[in-house]
Amino acid sequence: MRSWSRPDPTRGAAAAFGLCLFLISAADAWCASPALEYSVRHVDTRLEEETWLLDAGLDLEPNSESREALESGVPITVLLEVQVTRERVFRDERVRNMRLRYRIKKHALSKRYMVTYAASGKTRTYGALEDASASAGTIRELALIRNADLIPDHRYRVRLRARLDIDALPSPLRPLAWLGSLWRVRDDWYSWILTQ
């Protein structure tokens, strides 16, 4: 007569827990440095025809893992966030929030880098990743806010930051990117006062 044994439920749970720990440690190792470093070269806000415009230049530097993914044909999306806030005693009030998306992809045949501006769909090609990154980090004549929308005698601040858009990654890479804490949104905004 055969004897049947019941599977041990704790064995499967332990294996699943071990797999989760492995994925988390692998993600942290993969994301040992921020996925996208940036520094601000210049910013300029000016009033033209009753509208505040922004020109800015950022140096964008993908980390080695992001570069490797790009070289392997995985497109990355750079997200530039711009905010206008009104300064208040306890908490600043967000007046305007804008997001600019630039998709960078290496063409498999030509080996050139293509930068596509998501809002217009326009694409430009570059021979080097540095040139493509410089294009994605350039803002020209972005309409920030109408002067009529600003309350007189209040201080307004413009804030700018850049990051990789995790939600734009291919589906298999998203869980690893979200598990790696260093892929998340950086809180170090570059900010300056909008001079009226």
Q: Is residue 69 part of a domain?
A: yes
Q: Look at residue 10 and tell me if it is in a domain.
A: no
Predicted confidence (pLDDT) per residue in 102-115, tens digit: 999 999 899 999 99
**CA dist., res. 101 & res. 136, Å (int):** 8
Query: Has residue 180 been placed in a domain?
Result: yes
Whether 98 and 167 have beta carbons less than 8 Å apart is answered as no
Which range (7-11, 20-24, 116-120) has the least confidence? 20-24
Residue 68 · residue 153 · CB < 8 Å? no
- Given this model, what pLDDT does residue 32 score? 46
User: Does 84 fall in a domain?
Assistant: yes
CB atoms inside a 10 Å sphere around CB 81:
15
pLDDT tier at 182, thresholds 50, 70, 90: very low
Q: 187 or 154: whose pLDDT is higher?
A: 154
Q: Is the predicted pLDDT of residue 81 greater than 70, yes or no?
A: yes
User: How many domains is the chain built from?
Assistant: 1
Is residue 12 a part of any domain in this protein? no
In a domain, 6, yes or no: no
Question: pLDDT per residue over 114-159, tens digit each?
Answer: 999 988 889 999 999 999 988 999 999 999 999 999 999 899 999 9
Residue pair 82/142 in contact (Cβ under 8 Å)? The answer is yes
pLDDT score recorded for residue 181:
47
Characterize the bridge pairing of strands 123-126 and 190-194.
Answer: unpaired
| Residue 25 within any structural domain of the chain | no
pLDDT at 21: 46
- pLDDT tens-digit profile of 42-78? 999 999 999 999 999 998 888 777 788 888 888 888 8
Question: Which of 131-140, 166-175, 176-185 shows the highest mean pLDDT?
Answer: 131-140
Run of H or E residues at 94: strand 93-106
16 in any annotated domain? no
Domain hosting 73: range is 35-194
Q: Taking the model in full, what pTM does it have?
A: 0.72
Query: What confidence score (pLDDT) does residue 76 get?
Result: 85
